[in-house]
Amino acid sequence: MLQQTLCIIKPDATHRHLIGEILAYLEKNDLAIKALKMLQLTKPQAEGFYAEHQGKPFFEPLVESMIKAPVVVAVLEGENAISHYRNLMGATDPEKREKGTIRDLYALSYRENSVHGSDSEDSAKREITYFFTKNEIV
Ligand code: CMP
């Protein structure tokens, strides 16, 4: 099934000049970039994006880590893009990260894990709309 998903290259990765490497990794693995922008998130923007985690102990430090430096947001398209991209990212838990995945290669910690990806069709829709208007997706 052809799907779209949202990718964020997080501040820990943009700060270390990993944007090009991560985009190349995605393109080499059959994910097409359909929309792309760089932006400095505001605190309310980061809080709104991660609203489902509000109240969890990692929420505040997560929001702070997301506004430390610019992020790159992208819409990726491909066959089963949502699960395919999540497999390429690797697990959130560092102990469960598969070798050669983006987080295995680049993540610094549990929180500073270099990339975000939508976890379901519903969240992909919400997250894509959070950052892009229809005519920005080409
Ligand atoms: P992400 O895929 O962007 O979704 C939520 C983020 O919260 C996750 O990546 C991590 O950056 C962070 N996160 C989730 N769980 C924890 C945790 N237990 N401790 C620290 N950070 C977490």
- Full-model pTM: 0.97
Q: What is the pLDDT along the chain (138 residues), one digit of tens a residue?
A: 999 999 999 999 999 999 999 999 999 999 999 999 999 999 999 999 999 999 999 999 999 999 999 999 999 999 999 999 999 999 999 999 999 999 999 999 999 999 999 999 999 999 999 999 999 999
Is 49 annotated among the ligand-binding residues? no
Architecture of domain 2-136: 2-Layer Sandwich (3.30)
Q: What is the ipTM of this complex?
A: 0.94
CA distance 6 to 8: 7
Please enumerate in sequence order all residues whose Cβ is within 8 A of that of 70, keeping only pairs 6 or more positions apart, or say none.
11, 14, 38, 39, 40
Q: Which of 41, 45, 58, 89 to mutate to test the pocket of ligand 1 (most atoms within 8 A of CB)?
A: 58
Please enumerate in sequence order all residues whose Cβ is within 8 A of that of 92, keeping only pairs 6 or more positions apart, or say none.
103, 110, 113
Structure tokens that stand for 15 in this block: 């700060």
Domain boundaries, the chain: 2-136
